[in-house]
Structure 1
């Protein structure tokens, strides 16, 4: 029985490398087995290097644990599921962009509320990127795709702490009022990116 796991993907990729004349056929098999459409949420914690240098890695690991305890239930409540966790990042998928945005907003609200009760060295700040589109999904392991890459770039590199950035595809697929989003252009690593930043209500 075919399953969308890493071993089967590697098998198909090996066949593709060995039989380039069958690339189109193998690509169709890969897409049929692995391709899914999702809204993609990437959450990164701000200040990893600075906090680790000042307070040590154990301190920051404890902060990551606290962040995950806050964010993961919110993701589930908003209809999402965590695909993987790496260091201070969380990667999750949702059935639609609206749900991903709601999860992002709630995560920022919850961490901000927690920060009012903690000493400054324990404050948690999030940077969030959201994409929307087809990805190759390895269930319970990983995902690959352009929108995933872009959401990661937004969450990990471009968003400032407390910011939510959408890819242009995510913005196009966002249901409801879009007035609280402003267009922001970035140029990074040779890419010209059109993104949308959530404007905090006055």
Structure 2
């Protein structure tokens, strides 16, 4: 039995069979099991017991966990099944300023930016997923909370006084069903959110049609903002990774 368990041809057959099972056929690698959840926790524990050595039994076990995770997603207890609003932020002309400001001033400024914009995100139910130099990626369960956080974060940012630089931030919001893997969020909806932000030019807050449709009818009015259609410049390149039929809107005053 132990010899058969180590046969590479048998292991290959089982791995091939996993491609036809529900869920992620690569379940078991460090990326897929590092996040929260029952199947991930069991996979991590099993890996400590059996180690990295490939075996037929290990592949069968991972296949079962793969199906378990897929079943959880179908009933809403996993990841990727509920609407998530993704936020991307980016400081305008930051790189140009930082080249002359120097490393020490740049680091101090980024700390001040984090102190200014991250509390409004967290206070409104958002979760900062990662920091990317002068920007952040965050996720929200509520699109209304995401819009409120975006407006509040930009208001906080404008209060920062920086010699030789006027902080401005563009923000992009898009609502979809990305998948959480290893503490990060992946999928086409994440890409779309980043591209929506890129349409923000010199400090605009942009939201996709999907996010706008998901807002409560009175949210923007309560905030004193309106959504105006974004029109790409005549000679501007199309936003890659964004469906052609997806409309983008600019929040006036945001």
TM-score by length of 1: 0.77
Instruction: State whether structure 2 residue 101 is matched by structure 1 residue 50.
Output: no
What are the Cα deviations for residues 128-153 of structure 1, in whole angstroms up to 9, with x where unaligned?
000111111136x3101222111111
State how 1:1-202 maps to structure 2 within 5 Å: 18-19=15-16, 22-23=19-20, 25-27=22-24, 29-30=69-70, 32=73, 33-35=78-80, 36-115=82-161, 118-121=162-165, 123-138=166-181, 141-155=183-197, 157-177=198-218, 180-186=226-232, 187-189=238-240, 191=242, 192=244, 193-200=246-253
Secondary structure of the corresponding residue to residue 115 of structure 2 = helix
Q: 1:138 to 1:54 in 2, by over 3 A?
A: same
Cα-Cα RMSD = 2.7
Q: 1:47 to 1:58 in 2, by over 3 A?
A: farther
Contact kept? 1:67, 1:124, Cα under 8 Å = no
Contact kept? 1:108, 1:162, Cα under 8 Å = no
Deviation, 1:24, is: 5.6
Higher strand share: 1
Deviation, 1:20, is: 6.9
Q: 1:51 to 1:96 in 2, by over 3 A?
A: same
Is there any run of 5+ residues in structure 1 with no aligned partner, and where? Answer: 1-14
TM-score by length of 2: 0.63
What are the Cα deviations for residues 136-191 of structure 1, in whole angstroms up to 9, with x where unaligned?
1136x310122211111122x22123311001211111112457001114422375
- Work out which of the two has the higher radius of gyration on C-alpha atoms and give 1 or 2: 2
